[in-house]
Amino acid sequence: DAGITQSPRHKVTETGTPVTLRCHQTENHRYMYWYRQDPGHGLRLIHYSYGVKDTDKGEVSDGYSVSRSKTEDFLLTLESATSSQTSVYFCAISESGPNDEQFFGPGTRLTVL
């Protein structure tokens, strides 16, 4: 299994508070991604990174920011959490090889009250 961890695994917070989710990889893969998964929507890309300090927006980036200061860490921040950001958040990595498969972390369940 690819070495990807996410922390925390579960979090309950209140509307208006800042929240940071961490994704850590031990595979030295270049690409890292943050997705959210909601019933009826599948997985939707929030932000992704194609190298240290290189990030770009995905499909549902409003209300989220990211940072990548080291190859192994990709942080997702909700500056002021809202109830609509209650979701399961997945981090993924890929090396961009011929198969280009993405390896996913275990997910973080975030509840915003």
Sites of contact with another protein (CB under 8 A): 31, 33, 35, 40-45, 48, 50, 58-59, 88, 90, 92, 94, 96, 98-104, 106-107
**Closer to another protein by Cβ: residue 6 or 85:** 6
3-state SS assignment for residue 72: coil
Task: Compute the least distance from the CB of residue 51 to another protein, in Å.
Answer: 11
Task: Compute the least distance from the CB of residue 89 to another protein, in Å.
Answer: 12
3-state SS assignment for residue 96: coil
- Closest-CA residue to 48 (of 63, 67, 62, 34): 34
Task: Compute the least distance from the CB of residue 55 to another protein, in Å.
Answer: 12
Query: CA-to-CA distance for 69 and 101, rounded, in angstroms?
Result: 24
**Closer to another protein by Cβ: residue 7 or 17:** 7
| Chain position carrying tokens 């290189």 | 54
| Sequence-separated (6 or more) residues with CB below 8 Å from residue 41 | none
Query: CA-to-CA distance for 107 and 94, rounded, in angstroms?
Result: 16
Task: Compute the least distance from the CB of residue 109 to another protein, in Å.
Answer: 9
**Closer to another protein by Cβ: residue 3 or 31:** 31
**Closer to another protein by Cβ: residue 43 or 75:** 43
